[in-house]
Structure 1
Amino acid sequence: MLLSHAFGLFTKPDAEWAAIRKEHETPRRVYVAYVLILASIAPICAYVSTAHFGWTVGSERIVKLTEISALQLSVLTYLAMLVGVFALGYAVNWMARTYGAKEEHTPSNGIALAAYSCTPLFLAGFALLYPVPWFNAAIFLAAACYGAWLMYDGLPIVMGIEQDRAVFYGGALLTVGLVILVSTRVGSVIIWNFFVGPVFVG
C-alpha cells in the first residue's frame, strides 16, 4: 500500500526512495491512493479548528469562522494543494532531461517524487487542530525544511541522476515550489476579494 511509504520516509528515506523507484506507479494511482488521502488532513483539521475551536492572537478574544465559510476555504485549500503537487511533479518531469534523468523513469517517478516529498507538509496538517499561529508556523516551517531535504535526497535515487547534479536540480525545484506557493497566495487574495472570502462569527 502506498501509504506505508509515509512512515518509511521518516525512518529510512534512502531505502524508501529506492522502493518507490522500483514501483513505477502511475501518476493517477499515486494521486488516488496517496495524495488525495494525505492532502485532506490539513483542510479537515483547519475546518474543525477554525469553525469550532477558534484562535486567538495575543490576549484578544477567540476568533472563529462560520461553518460554511470554513468549509469553503478548506475545499479551496484542498484543491490548491492538489494543483500544487501536480505542478511540482510536472516541473520534475519537465526539467528531468536537462539534469540527465533517464527518460523512461520520468513519467511515473516525477509525480511520485513530488508527492512523497510533500509528505511532511501533509502530516503537519494535524498541527492545525491546535490553532495557535506561532505553533502552526513553526511546525509547517520544520515540515517544509524536511520536505525539501527529502526531495534533494530522493532526486538521485528516484530520477537516476548523479549526486552532484541533484544540488542544482533540487535548487531549481525549490524555486518552482516557491513560485507555486506565491501563486497560491496571490490566488487566495483574488478569490477572497471577488468570490469566497472568510466570514467571521459575529
Structure 2
Amino acid sequence: MILNHLWGLFTRPDQEWEAIRQEPNTVQRHFLTHTPFLAALPALAAYWGVTRVGWSFGERGIIEALTPASALQLCVMFYLATLAGVFILGKFIDFLSITYQDEDHTPRGVALATYTSIPLFLAGISAAYPNLWFMMFAAFAGLTYAVYLLYEGTPILMKIPEGRGFMFASSIVTIGLVMFVSLMAITVIFWSVGVGPEYTTLN
C-alpha cells in the first residue's frame, strides 16, 4: 500500500519502525512507494508559491515572483535532487552499518532515509506561502521530528544496541549535513552558468 507507514510514524513511531523491519526490504516497497510522491509535495508547493504568491521587499508594496519557465526548471531540478539525495543517503547508511551491526547486515539504509525524510517533505508544503518566518518555523518543526525519527528508528530498524544506535544516527546526521552543503555548492555552480531564477512582478 502506498504511504502505508505515514500515519504510524507520527502516532506510534516505535511500533511502526518494528513493522517496517518485518517487511520485505526492497527499494520497490519502501523508496518507490513513498519518496516520489512525498518529494513532489514541496516541489509543487514551491512552484505555486514562487509563481502565484510571490514575496514583497521593503515598503514599496511590489510583489516579485519567478517566471513560470524559470520556476518549473528550478522545481524539477529540486525534485530530482531530492530523490537522488534520499537514495544516496540510504546507500551511505548501508555502507556505515557494517561498522555498527554485529550479525544482521541486511541493507535497510534506503528505508531508514526514506521514512526519516517524511517530516521534511511535509514541512516543504510551507513553500506554497513563501514567507521567511513561516517557512523557517515549518522547516524547524520538520527537521526536529525527522531527527527524532532517526534517533528513535536507527536502533530498531538496524537492530543494534541503543548506545551504538545513537552514534550511528549521529554519523548519519553528519553525512546529511555534508550532502546539504554539497548541494548548495552545486546550486551556486549551476547559477554561475546561467541556470538561475528569472524574476517578474505580480500585479
- Per the shorter chain, which TM-score range? over 0.9
Superposed CA deviations along residues 140-186 of structure 1, whole A, max 9, x for unmatched, are 12211110110110011100100110111011100000001101111
Measure, in 2, the Cα distance between the counterparts of 1:184 and 1:160.
31
Q: Give TM-score, length-normalised by structure 1.
A: 0.94
The residue type paired with residue 39 of structure 2 is A
Measure, in 1, the Cα distance between the counterparts of 2:154 and 2:176.
15
**Pairwise CA distance, 1:105:** 2.3
Measure, in 2, the Cα distance between the counterparts of 1:97 and 1:157.
16
Classify the secondary structure of the residue corresponding to 2:66: coil
Classify the secondary structure of the residue corresponding to 2:56: coil
Match of 1:174 in 2: 173
Equivalent pairs counted in the alignment come to: 200
- Residues 102 and 159 in structure 1, CA contact (< 8 A), matched pair in contact too: no
> When you count strand as a share of all residues, which structure comes out higher?
2
- Residues 96 and 103 in structure 1, CA contact (< 8 A), matched pair in contact too: no
Which runs of 5 or more structure 1 residues have no equivalent in the other structure? Answer: none
Identity in percent: 41
The residue type paired with residue 173 of structure 1 is I
Which runs of 5 or more structure 2 residues have no equivalent in the other structure? Answer: none
Classify the secondary structure of the residue corresponding to 1:63: strand
Q: Does 1:51 align with 2:51?
A: yes
**Pairwise CA distance, 1:25:** 3.3
**Pairwise CA distance, 1:24:** 2.4
Q: Cα 1:21–1:15, aligned 2, differ >3 Å: closer, same or farther?
A: same
**Pairwise CA distance, 1:58:** 4.9
**Pairwise CA distance, 1:117:** 0.3
- Residues 102 and 160 in structure 1, CA contact (< 8 A), matched pair in contact too: no
Q: Give TM-score, length-normalised by structure 2.
A: 0.93
The residue type paired with residue 157 of structure 1 is I
Q: Does 1:192 align with 2:191?
A: yes
Match of 2:79 in 1: 78
Classify the secondary structure of the residue corresponding to 2:169: helix
Measure, in 1, the Cα distance between the counterparts of 2:188 and 2:102.
37
Q: Cα 1:14–1:72, aligned 2, differ >3 Å: closer, same or farther?
A: same
Match of 1:7 in 2: 7
